[in-house]
A and B are shown apart, each in its own frame.
Chain A
């Protein structure tokens, strides 16, 4: 069941094929009088965790479903699919966003960093290490989103006080409720002057 042994190149080929399954010919392409080219399956070139992709995708595909269902980058979680939980937080051109609210079609020329792209090989990003050190997680489902949010928060300069950290971490729900430990982790990571990797 694992695809760990497949190379990135093969994976890309696979994903192109998977993504192509839902092309709707009726909507494939048309243009209006202005010359805008409307496409039901726009081709998009983007970079995820340093790897370049060029894919033709059903226009409905979100960044979240692109990552999870096409690129097999399942570290980014789908908690609600409505921007109401933050589990799908990734960095888009260096800024944290909810991946469920971004159309993959809009990614052309843009750069995405996911939880899988945060560590430097085997060496954890300091924010990841701080989450372990301060027990800032329980079931772990919201954790990738929390970590991505926290690295962005530090880079944004919003770790000035515990109250500021709490407010700027509030876009990430944690039902296990590890909130105080998450604040501990962010404070510790911020005081070590670590910032966003992206």
Chain B
């Protein structure tokens, strides 16, 4: 079994039998159940917390308030999502902020107790996001401060964008809006903490066990080595379990105070108001082109909502910075501050929102030019990174366009939409792209004389297939079947891996596992008196490349008197791809049906064609891309968390009031295609990340297909019946 072969999910059996243990499934004796009491006002302060009724509830053990909490050391909280720590005083910064914790012997008692805690507030005037209107948003916006989220420059320009727009034969100048969306992972965030003296053991629903260890160490002044964080399985993250949020700190602190293990599983409502979301984003997009369709300028002005304590910036302009060749661009990111929870990355961030605006505008430009939308993209193909002129580490977007168009039948698309009974059938396309985030990672591979192999690294399994592909990489080097490999992960007692987010794991952890496996092979070669660089392994044997049968692992190790060989590996992004621009690319083609009388929009088929480097496991990769496309469909057609300005809160905090796609929304006709490509600059694996790429471009492709079907241009997501119904 080697890299590039389809392998069935290594944890499939554990997951289909219910044996896989997620954080809330971990059985810890003598634990207390914790339930949060949260603020019902968006701004102000707590005057008093009345706990007598709650304490009278049978089974309630304690009610903790800010008075009970230790003072947190907030000097270095990275990677804490937000700088503000609740329950450190009386201040209320957003609705849903934890103000008390009820601890009880049973979950029923804790939940009943939480309803019996009464809190008196002094409300203050809350800042709310501006109305969904560019003028109002523009007026409310400010330049972002440095608060840990300026991953890129908030302003960027190249050439003279005004002149470029002025000289254009055709221009598109439009505003595109997208609403707040929540991650809605099926597994609610959860933390179980138990102290043993100064040592604390945590189970956490996490995309980054080392992140929680680091934050807790700083905030609670506990040495990192005394903190163990385990995430055996994580039930989806999509970004929200990547940074550290207050509940994780509060669970650990509560357990220490109570002197007993504490399990805090967030309620669905908590997930909307104590964790992050993708913010409401407004784009003012201006494109100019000459009569041939060559871009003369891109001006992209973005405002995203943030909270009142930190300026999280959703860098949607990165899409415009890196996708098309243009002589001039002017990009600007601003924020508007409101009393809400802090936004965070959501599958797909950055280019995800950016492409909604850019690829809608490109479609409008193609229409204005009377050009095929795909031809317009090809006319502006960026051979080098447009903002830096750096060469690409690898880019096969042209192939992705062509091969995708062929699979979809794009060139047979008629100018007029087809009809199928009450349905108007439209087709649309968009480019896809995502930055290549890479994280330092370490891994260890151990080979035992009995032929068993252990791959160990502190990464997380959140559904992306990491538990499958890393043993696969080791198996390909060591010439064994992946079933012979045990994979240890999700534990801070293992070599430190980066967070499992940002489509980064294959490059980082994958490269570390590759190197550790090669280290094992080299050491075994030396034991077998073979030149390390000239060996190959298969069927449990090692031999000179192209040589005859060779020696078995067991024989080599027995003769050398060794019972175990330990190999170590690491990946440091600084050492790979210096001077190259790195991104993944693709094209997505969709066909939708619109019933204009009933305002209905339904997905009929999709082709996603991608340039993402080498694919380690096409089977799990295909599932990931399909999932990304369905995320894109949700973004296009239904997802939104409506903010209630008068109450200063998200109105519905449940899965009945916030729609995400169901099975019946999704047709089987989804084709995933990867261009044949290896990118050795990005990582020795040759692959890049794919977790987010599939979710990019889709919303614009859908809106473009709706335009094709109906002639209606929808510039505000989601595309719901109210926007489509014809009178």
Contacts and interface: CB of A to CB of B under 8 A. Distances in A.
A contacts B directly (C-beta below 8 A): yes
Interface of A: 1-3, 18, 21-24, 58, 60-61, 65, 68-69, 72-82, 84-85, 87, 114-116, 118-119, 124, 128-129, 131-133, 135, 137-144, 147, 162, 165-167, 169-170, 172-184
A47 B21 CA distance: 23
A26 to B, nearest CB: 9
A79 B188 contact: yes
Contact of A1 (B26, B631, B656): B26
B9 interface: yes
Contacts of A84: 268, 654-656
Given A22-B105, A79-B188, A176 B236 contact: yes
A183 B655 contact: no
Given A135-B9, A181-B626, A1 B28 contact: yes
Contacts of B670: 180
Residue among B18, B20, B461 with most chain A CB within 10 A: B18
A144 B18 contact: yes
Given A79-B186, A178-B627, A180-B666, 5 more contacts: A22-B106, A77-B235, A82-B656, A139-B461, A169-B664
Contacts of A178: 623, 626-627
Contacts of B461: 139
Contacts of B462: 139
B664 A166 contact: yes
Interface string B16-30: 111111101111100
B188 A78 contact: yes
Nearest to B26: A1
B234 interface: yes
Nearest to A163: B664
Contacts of A129: 16
Residue among B112, B185, B233, B623 with most chain A CB within 10 A: B623
Contact of B15 (A23, A143, A167): A143
Contacts of B665: 179
B11 A140 contact: yes
B185 A175 contact: yes
B12 A173 contact: no
B155 interface: no
Interface string B182-224: 0111111000000000000000000000000000000000000
B18 A141 contact: no
Contacts of B24: 68, 74, 78
A139 B658 CA distance: 21
B25 A142 contact: no
B3 interface: no
B19 to A, nearest CB: 7
B661 interface: yes
Contacts of B662: 170, 173, 179
A166 B464 CA distance: 23
Nearest to A129: B16
A131 B12 contact: yes
Chain A at the B interface: SS class: loop
Interface string B124-166: 0000000000000000000000000000000000000000000
Chain B at the A interface: SS class: loop
Contacts of A73: 18
A128 B234 CA distance: 20
Nearest to A169: B663
Contacts of A21: 59, 105-106
- Size category of the binding interface on chain B: 35 or more
Contacts of A18: 106
B660 interface: yes
A128 B20 CA distance: 14
A2 B265 CA distance: 19
A68 B25 contact: yes
A139 B187 contact: yes
Contacts of B268: 79-82, 84
A176 B668 contact: no
B664 A177 contact: no
Contact of B661 (A61, A74, A114, A179): A179
Contacts of B660: 173, 175
A166 B630 CA distance: 14
B324 interface: no
29 contacts: A1-B26, A3-B27, A21-B59, A21-B106, A22-B59, A22-B106, A65-B108, A68-B24, A77-B22, A81-B267, A116-B18, A132-B8, A135-B8, A135-B619, A135-B620, A138-B624, A140-B14, A140-B15, A140-B233, A141-B22, A143-B16, A165-B663, A169-B664, A175-B238, A177-B661, A180-B667, A180-B670, A181-B626, A183-B668
A139 B17 contact: no
A142 B186 contact: yes
B44 interface: no
Interface string B461-476: 1111100000000000
A77 B666 contact: no
B668 A162 contact: yes
Given A81-B268, A139-B186, A179-B666, A75 B627 contact: no
Interface string B232-269: 01111010000000000000000000000000010110
B58 interface: yes
B119 interface: no
Contacts of A124: 13, 16-17
A135 to B, nearest CB: 5
B16 to A, nearest CB: 4
A170 B13 contact: no
Nearest to A147: B16
Contacts of A140: 11, 14-16, 20, 233, 235, 463
A166 to B, nearest CB: 5
A173 B108 contact: no
B107 interface: yes
Contacts of B619: 135
B187 A172 contact: no
Contacts of B624: 138
Nearest to A73: B18
A177 B27 contact: no
Contact of A82 (B238, B463, B630, B654): B654
Nearest to A138: B463
Closest 6 CB pairs of A and B: A75-B18, A139-B463, A141-B235, A140-B15, A138-B463, A177-B630
A79 B234 CA distance: 13
A129 B8 CA distance: 11
B533 to A, nearest CB: 37
Contacts of B112: 60
Interface in B449-506: 461-465
A132 to B, nearest CB: 4
B12 A85 contact: no
B325 interface: no
Contacts of B622: 135
B630 A85 contact: no
Contacts of B19: 75
Contacts of B14: 140
B109 interface: yes
A138 B627 contact: yes
A175 B667 CA distance: 16
Contacts of B27: 1-3, 72, 74
